[in-house]
Amino acid sequence: MGDSAFLHFFTTELFGQWRRQAGVVLLSTILIFLLASTLFVSSSLRHSLQSALKSESDFTVQRIRGDHLLPVPMEWVDEIAALHGVDRVAPRVWGRYYTEPRGHYFLIVGIDLLEDQSQRALQKLIQGIDLRRFLQGDRMLVGPGAARWMREHFYRGSFSFLNPGGQFIKVTLDSILPRQSSLVADDMIVVPIETARKILGLREDEATDITFNVPNDDEWANVQNKVLAMHYDLRAVSKRESRAAYSRLFDFKGGFFLVLFLIVLSAFALILYQRYSQVYSREKRAIGILRALGWSIRDVLRLKLYETLSVVIAAFLLGTTLAYGYVFGLGAPLLRNIFLGSAEASTVPPLVPVMDFSVLATIFLLYGVTFLAAVIFPVWRVSVSDPKEAML
């Protein structure tokens, strides 16, 4: 088949029927946009969480009685540090702080000068801050989301926290954490460790939890068992367990959307199949004419394959571009809340752009193959029938 003549005919057909093609492209674009948005949000959150977890310590030790988390005594730090194979043992003072109006949570994180900051992510965040000056009083560094909330509620230079004892602790705003602090720091408030204890109602010999590293991977299980044996009310959670828990959560939500998408895609394929096999008599007639004028079944299928691929590629490019803009430009309104939960709605972190090409390939294959099958199979059926009948 003369390729230039064929391509000319193909483009004439494609653009000559643009109204019909535009409808299919529009529907396909919406489908791909929905799927790609979901996968972009999911990949971005997964990536941010994994980055955050990567900078976390290997183990976190908590004190738990019944279903209540209790402050950890500081002497546990020395007990854990005495174990062989354990490194960088550090107490942490942190906690969620609830405030009205509109039920809002902040994450209070205490730091001190001497502490070997267990959270490497936190270390990065406070780079460039004059810690000596910062630690001298009740001062705070706030994440972008927390800063926005305070601005919206007219807290300008300071904020008064109400501690469990009913006392107000006035803390002065020092500066705002960089926007890139993303998922881990959006609603975070970093304060000197003593200020954190006051806000959270902890004594001087208490911490929220203790973190430590075990450099030898093979020793993880061994050390974890030894730590667990120290106290009956001690819980030691490894980074791997946290990562698995987060993965399960996002796999569940991502999987839920994937199932929804497959249902919609199946419905769409069914509509296409119906259209090409029954409703679209004009299409049948055109195929019959081509066959009667010397086009073989292969020629007809080639034409329809090119046409369908053009629609699939156009819809794919449009859908993924729009989804990229919606997720990483606009911050995925609505969809983001479904993934993160509506309680976090006012301080949801910005979504960090992550481009996972395997995800894009999956969308393309999943959608493209279904679309092609839904169109090509009925076209093939018409092509192999008597051309005279197709023209009637």
Partner 1 sequence: MKIIQIYGLNRHFDNGEERFHALRDIDLEVEKGECVILHGVSGSGKTTLLSIVAGLDQPSSGEVLVEGEAIAKLPDRHLSRFRGRHIGMIFQHYNLLEEFSVRDNVSVPLIPLGLKMDEVERRCDAAMQLANISHKARQSAGRLSGGEKQRAAIARALAADPEIVLCDEPTANLDRANARRFLEILGQLHDLGKTILIATHDPIFEELDFPVRVVEMEDGRIVR
Tell me how far apart the alpha carbons of residues 332 and 355 are, in angstroms, rounded to a whole number. 15
Which of 88, 235, 253, 285 touches partner 1 (CB under 8 A)?
A: 285
Query: C-alpha distances in angstroms, 129 versus 176, 178, 341?
Result: 11, 12, 33
Residue 279 or 384 having the CB closest to partner 1? 384
Is residue 305 involved in binding partner 1 (CB under 8 A)? Answer: no
Tell me how far apart the alpha carbons of residues 159 and 153 are, in angstroms, rounded to a whole number. 11
Give the shortest CB-352-to-partner 1 separation in angstroms.
48
Question: Cβ neighbours of residue 221 under 8 Å, at least 6 residues apart?
Answer: none
- The two tokens of residue 169 are 């602790």
Residue 125 or 286 having the CB closest to partner 1? 286
Among the candidate windows 159-167, 207-215, 226-234, 285-293, which touches partner 1 by CB under 8 A? 285-293
Beta carbons within 10 angstroms of residue 100's beta carbon: 8
Question: Cβ neighbours of residue 303 under 8 Å, at least 6 residues apart?
Answer: 6, 9, 10, 13, 290, 295
Is residue 14 involved in binding partner 1 (CB under 8 A)? Answer: no
DSSP summary character for residue 239: H
Among the candidate windows 32-40, 109-117, 128-136, 281-289, which touches partner 1 by CB under 8 A? 281-289
**Which residue is associated with the tokens 């900051």?**
117
Give the shortest CB-13-to-partner 1 separation in angstroms.
8
Is residue 290 involved in binding partner 1 (CB under 8 A)? Answer: yes
Is residue 281 involved in binding partner 1 (CB under 8 A)? Answer: no
Strand intervals (E) in 66-155: 68-70, 72-73, 87-99, 104-111, 139-142
Widest distance between CA atoms in the chain: 93
Is residue 2 involved in binding partner 1 (CB under 8 A)? Answer: yes
Is residue 22 involved in binding partner 1 (CB under 8 A)? Answer: no
Is residue 292 involved in binding partner 1 (CB under 8 A)? Answer: yes
Is residue 291 involved in binding partner 1 (CB under 8 A)? Answer: yes
Is residue 9 involved in binding partner 1 (CB under 8 A)? Answer: yes
Tell me how far apart the alpha carbons of residues 15 and 18 are, in angstroms, rounded to a whole number. 5
Which of 4, 127, 342, 358 touches partner 1 (CB under 8 A)?
A: 4
Which of 289, 313, 317, 343 touches partner 1 (CB under 8 A)?
A: 289
**For partner 1, what does the binding mask look like between residues 231 and 270, x meaning CB under 8 A?**
----------------------------------------
Is residue 388 involved in binding partner 1 (CB under 8 A)? Answer: yes
- What helix, strand, coil percent values describe the chain, rounded to 5? 60, 15, 25
Which of 97, 268, 295, 339 touches partner 1 (CB under 8 A)?
A: 295
Is residue 382 involved in binding partner 1 (CB under 8 A)? Answer: no
Which of 151, 203, 240, 298 touches partner 1 (CB under 8 A)?
A: 298
For residue 378, count CB atoms less than 10 angstroms from its CB and return exposed for 0-12, middle for 13-18, buried for 19 or more: buried
Residue 197 or 304 having the CB closest to partner 1? 304
Which of 297, 322, 372, 373 touches partner 1 (CB under 8 A)?
A: 297
52: left (phi over 0), alpha (psi -120 to 50) or beta: alpha
Tell me how far apart the alpha carbons of residues 89 and 181 are, in angstroms, rounded to a whole number. 24
Residue 11 or 266 having the CB closest to partner 1? 11
Give the shortest CB-25-to-partner 1 separation in angstroms.
18
Q: Applying CB under 8 A, which residues contact partner 1?
A: 1-2, 4-6, 8-9, 12-13, 16-17, 285-286, 288-299, 386-388, 391
